[in-house]
Amino acid sequence: MSNQESEKISKKHLNKICELYGTKSEDLTYVGGFENFVYSFQKDNQDYFIRIGESKHMTSELVQAELDWVSYLVENDIPVVKSIKSVNNKILEKVNLDDGHYNVVSFEKAKGEHLDHRNPQNWSNEIIKEYGRMIGQMHALSKNYKGKEAKRYDFKPSIDIKWLLKGEDKEVVDRITELFQEIENLPKNKDVYGLVHGDLHTGNFFVKGDKITALLDFDRTCYKWFISEIAVALYYPLYFTQLNQDRKAQEDFVKRFLPLFMNGYEEENKLESDWMKKLNSFIQVRDVILFMYLPKELENMKKNHRPRILGEVPYVDVQKIAGY
C-alpha cells in the first residue's frame, strides 16, 4: 500500500485487524471508502474484502443488525455477498480506539462485474426485469422478517437538516423541510414499509450475462418505504449518466425501463397502485439526500441538484410517462 492509503488507518490497527483474518497488512490493497474503509486481500487463492468502520459512524449493534438481515437473505436464496468469520469464529469484530472502536467485517469477493449503466443500451430487458424481481423478492421477505435483538434504524432524514444544511439558502432549506414532512407522514404498515437495502443502484450489484449474481454493500440498510427502492433504481440512470443532458432520452428510458422493472417486481411482491403515484416524490427525496450528504469538496456536483430541488429545472415526470 502507498503511504496515503496506509494513513487512513494506522499500521498498528491494520496489523491487529489482519491478525483476525489470518493475513498481513502488507498484503492488503486499499479499495476505497467514505464512511467505511475497504481493503482487499487473498488467502488460500481466494479473494476477500475487509470493511472497517468507526463506531461513531455506525454502532456495533447497527452493524450486527445489518449482518443478521444479510444472513436472512442468504438463507432465502438472495445472491448476497456472504460475510466470513474471523479466527475467533465471529462475523463482527471490534478493534478498540482511544475514543471508540472499529467495527470490522470481512466478505467474500462477489462473482460477476458491475453493469456499465452509463450507456442505456447496456440495460438489457432481461437485466431490467431481473433487477425488479430481485427487489420485489427482498421486499416480500422483509414483510415477514422479525430480526434479532439488534435493530436497524428508521429512515428519518429531517433530524439532520439543521447541521447538514447549515449555511444553505433559506429557500433550499424550506423546500427540503417541506418534502421530508410530506414523506415522513406517510403510512408505515408492513405492506408498504420495511427493511430495505437502501442504496441498491448499479454500483451495488454485479451481473454476469443477463443475471444478477451478487448484491453488495448493505451499509445503508434501514426501515423505509418500499417505493423508495424503486425510486433509487430509476434515479441513477436518469440523473447520473448522459441521459441527464437529454430530456427525450430520459423519457424514452423511463418508457422502456419501468414497465419491465415492475413486471419483474410484481412476480415477487405487490405494491398498491397508489404508491406508484408517489414515485416522483421519492425520486426527489433521493436527489435531496445526496445533496445533503455530499461532502463540501464536491460542491460542483451539488450545483446540479439545487435547480431541480427548487423547481427551476423540472424532474422527469416518471409517473406521467409510464402511465401511473
Q: State the pLDDT confidence band at 3, using cuts at 50, 70 and 90.
A: very low
- To the nearest 10 degrees (0 to 180), the angle between helices 247-268 and 125-142 is 50
Does 256 share its domain with 287? yes
Instruction: Retrieve residue 154's grid coordinates.
Output: 428508521
* 105 membership: H or E segment, kind and range: strand 100-108
Q: What's the pLDDT band for 1 if we cut at 50, 70, 90?
A: very low
Query: Tell me, what's the pLDDT at 231?
Result: 98
In this structure, the answer to whether residues 242 and 290 fall within a common structural domain is yes
Order across the sheet with 211-215: list the strands: 113-114, 205-208, 211-215
* Residues 162 and 281 occupy one common structural domain: yes
The backbone torsions φ and ψ at residue 321, rounded to the nearest 5 degrees and listed phi first, read: -65, -40
pLDDT bucket at 6, cuts 50 / 70 / 90: very low
Asked if the model's pLDDT at residue 178 lies above 70, the reply is: yes
pLDDT category at 155 given cuts 50, 70, 90 is very high
**Residue 193: what pLDDT?**
97
Task: Yes or no: say if 102 and 17 are a contact pair by the CB < 8 Å rule.
Answer: yes
Check whether residue 50 and residue 17 sit in a common domain: yes
User: Are 81 and 192 members of one domain?
Assistant: no
Measured between alpha carbons, how far is 206 from 202 in angstroms, rounded to an integer?
Answer: 8
- pLDDT at position 117, please? 67
Instruction: Extract the C-alpha cell encoding 314.
Output: 423540472
- Say yes or no to pLDDT of 166 above 90: no
- When pLDDT is cut at 50, 70 and 90, the band that residue 148 belongs to is confident
Average pLDDT over residues 28-52: 91
Same domain, 187 and 291: yes
pLDDT in tens, 128-142: 999 999 999 999 999
Which of 83-87, 105-109, 187-191, 301-305 is least confident?
301-305
Contact 92, 106 (CB under 8 A): no
Number of domains in the chain: 2
Does residue 160 surpass a pLDDT of 90? no
Exposed, middle or buried by CB within 10 Å (0-12, 13-18, 19+), for 141? buried
Q: What is the CATH number of the domain that holds 55?
A: 3.30.200.20
Q: Does 178 share its domain with 266?
A: yes
pLDDT at position 292: 92
Q: Is pLDDT of 324 > 90? A: no
- Do 265 and 230 share a structural domain? yes
For residue 291, name the pLDDT band (cuts at 50, 70, 90).
very high
The residue out of 76, 92, 108 marking a domain boundary is: 108
CA dihedral 30, 34, 36, 37 (to 10 degrees): 10
DSSP state string for 48-83: EEEEEEETTTS-HHHHHHHHHHHHHHHHTT--BPPE
**Residues 147 and 192 reside in one and the same domain:** yes
Q: Are strands 205-208 and 113-114 parallel, antiparallel or unpaired?
A: antiparallel
**Domain end residue (candidates: 82, 108, 134):** 108
Residues 199 and 301 in one domain: yes
pLDDT, one tens digit per residue, over 205-238 is: 999 988 999 999 999 999 999 999 999 999 999 9
pLDDT for 35 equals 80
- Which band of pLDDT confidence, cut at 50, 70 and 90, is reported for residue 274? very high
- Domain with 237 in it: what CATH number? 3.90.1200.10
Residues 99 and 244 in one domain: no
73 and 206 both lie in a single domain: no
For 6, phi and psi rounded to 5 degrees?
-70, -25
DSSP state, 151? -
Q: Are 192 and 230 in contact (CB under 8 A)?
A: no
State which of 108, 142, 158 marks the end of a domain: 108
Q: How much is the pLDDT for 120? A: 66
Q: Would you state the cell numbers that stand for residue 193, as one nine-digit string?
A: 414499509
Q: Which of 20-29, 90-99, 159-168, 257-266 has the lowest mean pLDDT?
A: 159-168
Distance (Å, rounded) from C-alpha 59 to C-alpha 106?
17
Task: Tell how strand 36-43 and strand 29-33 pair up.
Answer: antiparallel
> What pLDDT is stored for residue 214 in this prediction?
96
Q: Give the residue numbers spanning the domain of 70.
A: 3-108
Please determine, for residue 4, whether its predicted confidence score (pLDDT) is greater than 70. no
- 113 φψ region: left (φ > 0), alpha (ψ -120 to 50), beta (else): beta
